[in-house]
Amino acid sequence: MDPVRHLRFSLFILVAVVGCGTLGYTFIEGWGVFDSLYMTVITLATVGFQEIHPLTDQGKAFTILLIVFGAGIIAYAVGSLIQLMVEGQLRKLMGRKKLEKEIGKLQGHYIVCGYGRIGALICKELQTRPVPFVVVEKDPQHWEKLTRNGHLFVRGDATDDEALIAAGIRRARGVVTAVTSDTDNVYITLTARGLNPDLFILARSGEVEAEKKLLRAGASKVISPYTIGASRMAQAILRPSVVDFIEIATAGRNLELQMEEIRIAPASALKEKTLAASGIRQELGIIIVGIKKGDGKMIFNPEPGATIEPGDILITLGEPAAIEKLERIACGEKMGV
């Protein structure tokens, strides 16, 4: 039986026994309701007070039965309450241990600091990929939502070293600071950069002045949701068809068209080949929108004779199935195109 239902049943039986005891003394001894209730309570509690009125033989027999059955029912109710408390604490403890164990297994994951409106949307997008991530959240109101959504999370303040270490920052690939305070975002960026110098740190900026501070603190990239939102709204007015195309291409939810970035591994069969010789366009039907070279230089609309080198990132546009196939080839699988 469920512990909560178990406790409810126990309390129901206990109330029923108190009611029966009160009625019994009322009918057997002819006492008032309050005196009968008082006698029932002190009898069940076995406190040892003397009877408030002399008992008849029938009343004494009834008291014996009340003690025998009532004491057992009280013990049963108390046991149910203890069981509920102990099992609840154990369940929480075991849940935390399981969560910590799963976080400890992660490698090359992302850490999302803050599970507010922006953080929750970021987690939703990461989950659809799926990309492994851990959330660091200090607000208890968000913990239940994180548990319900099946996200791995650490209870703590992301500005503290201990919370980021518990989230596996030394094994992480990147950190996203999505808390509402620019001051906290700067502090998180400084802390994260100090704990792992090789991290990619994406920082949220609320004010324009905070962007420079975040970059100086060690952020790899700074994004202002308000600036992007305003620009997107303006573009929806000025270039609605372009915005519709971008939404379709970047949604990433198995639609007809998908825009993706693909890194070329050293073992890939595509390395040192030109775009024309790679067969990406002819056989997979994928358009290469751009190539980001290892030195950070971006080549837009590359020529057919452009050479693909290890470490290059291809900005692609095509059907999801073809994109997945190209990702496998880029990682080193043999070309089956």
Sign of CA pseudo-dihedral 285, 287, 293, 299: positive
* pLDDT at site 94: 60
Specify the pLDDT at position 204. Answer: 93
Per-residue confidence (pLDDT) for residue 132, from 0 to 100: 93
Q: How long a stretch of residues is the chain?
A: 337
Cis? peptide before 304, omega within 30° of 0: no
Which run of H or of E encompasses 177? strand 174-177
What does the pLDDT read at residue 203?
Answer: 94
Q: What pLDDT is recorded for position 78?
A: 74
CB of 275 closer than 8 Å to CB of 305: yes
- How far apart, in whole angstroms, are the C-alpha atoms of residue 144 and residue 92? 12
pTM to 2 decimal places: 0.60
What is the per-residue pLDDT for 337? 42
pLDDT for 254: 46
Residues in the chain with pLDDT < 50?
Answer: 1, 254, 337
Instruction: Give the pLDDT of residue 135.
Output: 95
Specify the pLDDT at position 101.
85
Question: CA 188, CA 290: separation in Å to the nearest integer?
Answer: 33
All residues at 6 or more sequence positions from 213 whose CB lies less than 8 Å from its CB, including other chains:
182, 186
Residue pair 304/282 in contact (Cβ under 8 Å)? The answer is: no
What pLDDT score does 129 carry? 78
Burial of 23 (0-12, 13-18, 19+ CB in 10 A): middle
Where do the domains of the chain lie, and which CATH numbers do they carry? Answer: 3-99 (1.10.287.70), 107-229 (3.40.50.720), 244-331 (3.30.70.1450)
CB 35 within 8 A of CB 25: yes
Q: What is the DSSP letter of 267?
A: T
Number of CB atoms found within 10 A of residue 133's CB: 23
